[in-house]
Amino acid sequence: MTMSQQENCPCGSSKSYIECCNSIHANPKNANSAEELMRSRYCAFVKLNIEFIYDTFHPNTRRFQSKKDIENWAKENKWMHLEVLKSTDTTVEFKAHYLDVNLDVKVHHEQSTFKRTQNCWFYLDGRILS
């Protein structure tokens, strides 16, 4: 999926993709906070940037991830919008709204934990909330 420079970034920041998640997708070290990395990961699901999603898992948990599973989940859903509910230095609670394969509206509600390692933010893990 390509996006015009004027199109709002899927992460919900109200900036254009070029001004927002594009620079983080080009280099994850450009994420200045856990929330910026989380928003860019959501955007990567929308754009099917599977390598970025995989590469931004923390090195301690990355080996437990499957690129194929990530790709399947990203492709089988239509990502509608992201809602950031709460953000701290290392956690982000969010709701990702999407349509599943049956076109049913779903919400992925998660509290994610992030860790900064070697001047780069990584997704460590997440806890699904109701």
pLDDT at residue 103, rounded to an integer? 96
pLDDT by residue (tens digit) across 31-46? 999 999 999 999 999 9
Q: Encode the chain in three state secondary structure.
A: CCCCCCCECCCCCCCECCCCHHHHHHCHHHCCCHHHHHHHHHHHHHHCCHHHHHHCECHHHHCCCCHHHHHHHHHHCEEEEEEEEEECCCEEEEEEEEECCCCCEEEEEEEEEEEEECCEEEEEEEEECC
Q: What is the mean pLDDT of residues 7-22?
A: 95
Whether pLDDT at 68 is above 80: yes
Q: What is the mean pLDDT of residues 89-110?
A: 97
What is the value of pTM for the model shown? 0.94
pLDDT at residue 1, rounded to an integer? 45
pLDDT at residue 84, rounded to an integer? 98
